[in-house]
Amino acid sequence: MRIVTSCLVGLLAFAHPATAAPGKPAPPPQTRPQPFPTPNFIHEKYDGVLSVNDHCPVRHGKLHPSIRPTYVNRQPVGFC
């Protein structure tokens, strides 16, 4: 009898809170808004091939179409 009681107490301890307390619904998870909007950049085309990156790896700005890219594994990497 003691073993059955301890098993039931153990199962109730690990029960989901929503099933244990039927009086209140669980609050929805809180989501934090993004602190600032993320910029949307476009991929540049170099010699008919889209660049691997959409923003400058150095200054994190827009890609400059007149600066020639560096090719890595035959894929252009643009700069600003």
Q: How confident is the model at residue 1 (pLDDT cuts 50, 70, 90)?
A: low
- Compare 24 and 73 and report the one with higher pLDDT: 73
Record the tokens describing residue 75, joined without a space.
């894929």
Q: pTM of the entire structure? A: 0.49
Instruction: Give the pLDDT confidence of 8-41 residue by residue, as tens digits.
Output: 566 666 655 555 556 777 777 888 776 776 678 8
Structural domain boundaries in the chain: 40-80
With H, G, I as helix, E, B as strand and everything else as coil, classify residue 76: strand
